[in-house]
Amino acid sequence: MKKILRFVVVIGLFMLILQCSSRQAPQQRPEYALVIHGGAGTILKNNMPPEKEKEFRDALTTALRTGEKILATGGSSLDAVVATIRFMEDSPLFNAGKGAVFTHEGKNELDAALMNGADLNVGAVAGVTRVKNPIELARKVMENSPHVLFARDGAEAFAVEQGMELVDPNYFRIESRWHSLQKALEREKEKKSAFYRGTKNDNKFGTVGCVALDKMGNLAAGTSTGGMTNKRFGRIGDSPIVGAGTYASNKTCAVSATGWGEFFIRNVVAYDIAAMMEYKNFPVQKAAAAAIEKVGKMKASGGVIVLDKNGNIAMQFNSAGMFRGFSIAGEKPVVKIFGREE
Ligand code: ASP
């Protein structure tokens, strides 16, 4: 009898300890979460007039609200990512859709990718010149074709077949981007090289990206860009390359990158982060920092936004600044631009 009593007491104590530790367990997954970026680069407070800063902060806040509204009402992470990026593509402030940078020949060639973390399905487009919202075309590639990446004329023919409206290529043009191309061309002439690499001062990128976690626990990632000023020979960057600039898996995390694309492709940055989380059990912040360190070691700059399956966030970059923000269910949205901003 005594033995049984002792057994019951021990089991009781054990249950109590278990309960306590589950109360202390890491915070519960939020109902939903959304993270955005609007590009990384030489973004310094001293160089940005207050009105411009306000414009960016307002645009980032509206972008967050756009996706948040969808997630709060039970919409999917894919819907939230597409709507958020569409808003940023339509804003001339960012290097995606309207306001994209110019190629060497004076054109706007757009790249975008979308990935669904639930089934690893992907859609991407590269080098399109007449599609108003490339992220929407990326979704159609994902959902309405057996393929993952369409380029240039073929991608546009598919857009027409899908009933998408094409715009005049002039729609994307804004004067400040045109001016940046002229400056780049002048510098290129001085260097007599077919491959203009840019300098620290004109490496202001402006790609846009979004990662989201919905109430069903599904992750999605999307990225959209005009690429790099003065690109030529059909150059494609990391944004539409799955695993480099964009990746999502419900097993680990969703990632969108921005920066010098060639180095993000060479380091397979987005997948590298997911792999470090899956195989090495790295927390999201540690994985993001390790991946950006590898890019930095090659003397390239840029950043990533990462959202893991539990709603933990990393916004890591090695440039002076990165337009960024996040919104977590039940919390006030946060927008930041410069480095070391509280
Ligand atoms: N990663 C983009 C590219 O290389 C540029 C950017 O992020 O601004 O095409």
Ligand 1 atom with the shortest distance to the CA of 231: 9
Put the strands of the sheet holding 302-308 in their side by side order. Answer: 246-248, 253-259, 302-308, 313-317
How far away, in angstroms, is 151 Cα from ligand 1 center? 17
Asked if residue 246 has its Cβ within 6 Å of ligand 1, the reply is no
Tokens (6 digits) for 325: 């923000």
What does the domain layout of the chain look like in residue ranges? 30-336
Q: Are strands 149-151 and 121-128 parallel, antiparallel or unpaired?
A: parallel
DSSP state of 339: T
CA 207 / ligand 1 centre spacing (Å):
6
Q: ∠ CA(221), CA(227), CA(230), 5° rounding?
A: 175
pTM of the model: 0.90
* Ligand 1 contact, 225 CB (< 6 A): yes
- Residues with Cβ within 8 Å of 314's Cβ and at least 6 positions away in sequence, in order, are 284, 285, 287, 288, 289, 304, 305, 306
Q: Is 207 a catalytic residue?
A: yes
Q: Report pLDDT digits (tens) over 294-327.
A: 999 999 999 999 999 999 999 999 999 999 999 9
Identify the CATH assignment for 30-336 out of 3.60.20.30, 2.60.120.10, 3.40.50.2300, 3.40.50.300. Answer: 3.60.20.30
Closest ligand 1 atom to the C-alpha of 258? Answer: 7
For residue range 199-231, what is the model confidence (pLDDT) as tens digits?
A: 444 445 689 999 999 999 999 999 999 999 999
Choose which residue among 225, 232, 233, 323 to substitute to test ligand 1 binding: the one with the highest number of ligand atoms within 8 A of its C-beta: 225
Atom of ligand 1 nearest to the CA of 237: 9
Calculate how far, in angstroms, residue 27's C-alpha sits from the geometric centre of ligand 1.
Answer: 34
For residues 186 and 188, give the distance between their C-alpha atoms in angstroms, rounded to a whole number.
5
Give the pLDDT mean for 183-196: 78
- C-alpha 122/C-alpha 36 separation (Å) is 19
Q: What pLDDT, in 10s, does the model give residues 93-148?
A: 999 999 999 999 999 999 999 999 999 999 999 999 999 999 999 999 999 999 99
The average confidence (pLDDT) of the chain is 90
Residue 190 has pLDDT above 90, yes or no: no
Cβ of 41 closer than 6 Å to ligand 1, yes or no, is: no
Burial label, 243 (beta-carbon count in 10 A; 0-12, 13-18, 19+): buried
Beta strands in the chain (DSSP E): 33-41, 110-116, 121-128, 149-151, 208-213, 219-225, 246-248, 253-259, 302-308, 313-317, 321-328, 334-338
Ligand 1 in reach of 259 Cβ (< 6 A): yes
Ligand 1, atom 9: closest residue by C-alpha: 227
Tokens of 315: 């916004």
DSSP-derived secondary structure letter, 261: H
Backbone angle region of 126, left / alpha / beta, with phi > 0 → left and psi within -120 to 50 → alpha: beta
**Ligand 1 atom 8: residue of nearest CA:** 205
- pLDDT at 10 exceeding the cut of 50: no
Single out the catalytic residue among 103, 129, 207, 246.
Answer: 207
pLDDT at 18: 32
From 85, 238, 263, 269, the mutation candidate for ligand 1 (largest count of ligand atoms within 8 A of CB) is: 238
| Beta carbon of 127 within 6 Å of any ligand 1 atom | no
Q: Is residue 16 predicted with pLDDT exceeding 90?
A: no
d(CA 234, CA 256): 22
Q: Give the pair of three-digit tokens for residue 137.
A: 């075309």
What are residue 136's phi and psi, to 5 degrees? -70, -35
Per-residue pLDDT at 279 exceeds 50: yes
